[in-house]
Structure 1
Amino acid sequence: MNKKLIGVDLGGTTIKFAILTLDGEIQQKWSVETNILDDGKHIVPDIVESINHHLDLYDMKPEQFVGIGMGTPGTVDIENGTVEAAFNLNWKEKQNLKEEIEKGTGMKFAVDNDANVAALGERWKGAGENDDEVTFVTLGTGVGGGVITNGEMVHGAGAGGEIGHINVQPNGYLCTCGNHGCLETYASATGVVRVARDMAEEFAGKSDLKKMLDDGQDISSKIVFDLAKDGDVLAERVVDRVCYYLGFACANIGSLINPSYIVIGGGVSAAGKFLLDQVDSYFKEFAFPSVKKSTTLKLAELGNEAGVIGAASLALKFNK
């Protein structure tokens, strides 16, 4: 019997599910809304209920699956299958995910942080080309990521791979972590807007971006990149500064671990080659000479499916 995998991508608004082959091909997928009411106590029962419901729907049994893998926000104890500090899920206490989900579904369960899981997905079936040396940088509301070396996810003493908190500007913007000058404060979607607001105050030339900001209009990182592509001078300067910090951080990652690929994903990466080319230019300016030749920067390929694919790959260890 060809066994299957289940991948779960737990987010603050949506829980995504997929049934995959052992080769990582998605066969079915669905999603449910994340119910964070009552300190998030409905989330785990909803996951169990949704998996069991869809197994009934597809006339499948737990023994047909190798196991379930899941990515979650928060600080994860991968050995014990617990998570804490997942504030956007309203979880104030430690959650015993492994114990509850294994009991509720009759399947083995593994969990890791959501950014790590997305990195595993891109490494396995996306831009990482299943290489053993891949670093994933995701540019969303914050900046996350995951580091894979020798084919294994780096966890360090617990906080390995916190790419968003690489310091790129000593005494720079205040970060939510309490430090100043983290990459996240410049290269996230909110960071791009922050840079734009600051640079607009000092800019005296003609610019649609400046006019929008001066008029009090809401802007987004997409608007900044779109205006830069159209030749808006201020927007071009904002993008250049953001790409400088990203390229600088990628060069430091390259010098430390020399991955085959640094994969850039998340909402901001929708700017595509326009973003990648500028980041790559600064990467090559700052990187160690041999790293320039051996580390390649690429755009992520899996989009929203990276999470469920990477989560499913966690369950593969049960197949050994």
Structure 2
Amino acid sequence: MFSDALRRDAARIGAHLDEVLAKEPDLPVIHGMRYAVSGGKRLRGFLVMEGARLHGVPEAQAIWPAAAIEAIHAYSLVHDDLPCMDDDDLRRGLPTVHRKWDDGTAVLVGDALQTLGFELVLDAACHADPVVRADLALSLARASGHRGMVLGQALDIQAETAETPLTLDQITELQAGKTGALIVWSAQAGARLAQSDLKPLTDYATALGLAFQIADDILDVEGDETTVGKAVGKDADRGKATFVSLLGLDGAKRRASDLVDAACDALSPYGARAQTLNEAAQFVISRDT
């Protein structure tokens, strides 16, 4: 069952990150790193673990890229929450890193988590073949950098000062980088470890990532701040173009549902073995956080 697998993998990934950081010095940046990677659904890490299971990759190997993507994701949130970006006070119901410490510490925490992600996928325990580890690191760099997540963030910042709101195609392109790129990498990681065909999980995660962002836009309208764990209604306050503003609430929900159907269809080569990933796709548009 998906919910059990998600909880189980989240606990394993958290324990692995705790172990990696356990022997580090007693410094604010280290405390901030531990704080930033604690909690959360760990959906991206779960996708790594489940993709690895589909391809017969041992958990002892899969845990390394799973922890890596959670470190990279946490770095992106720490920086995204800064006053110069989204200026958020809450993350997962707790003070953001720059509020708990200060802006400088938050910048360094994000920097350190980013480099930790690459350290983890390049560890020899991840895979015996250095070519496979290099492929994981190169693809992660592309997914998280100026071709992927950072590109999406840059387009998002640019849109805030644009004279005209973004079109649906432009928002889709933006979110394919900002949210989708790391989700796609997460789903691909197990196939990369197994040196197997990437296409089914790439197609799955491309649809899943867009559905995830549409669900986020819906939560910004319908969600409760206490449940969501961060401020809601900010997009509308800023007059920001979103899937909801362009498609309407019902239209956005239909689009997200269609994307989930497409994601599940992409898993057909795996048959019944992909049931947990099918359930994960349904979760993405039914979640309240």
Same structural fold, with TM-score higher than 0.5 when normalized by the shorter chain: no
For the pair shown, the structure with the greater C-alpha radius of gyration is: 1
Higher strand share: 1
Higher helix share: 2
- TM-score of the two chains, using structure 2 as the length reference: 0.30
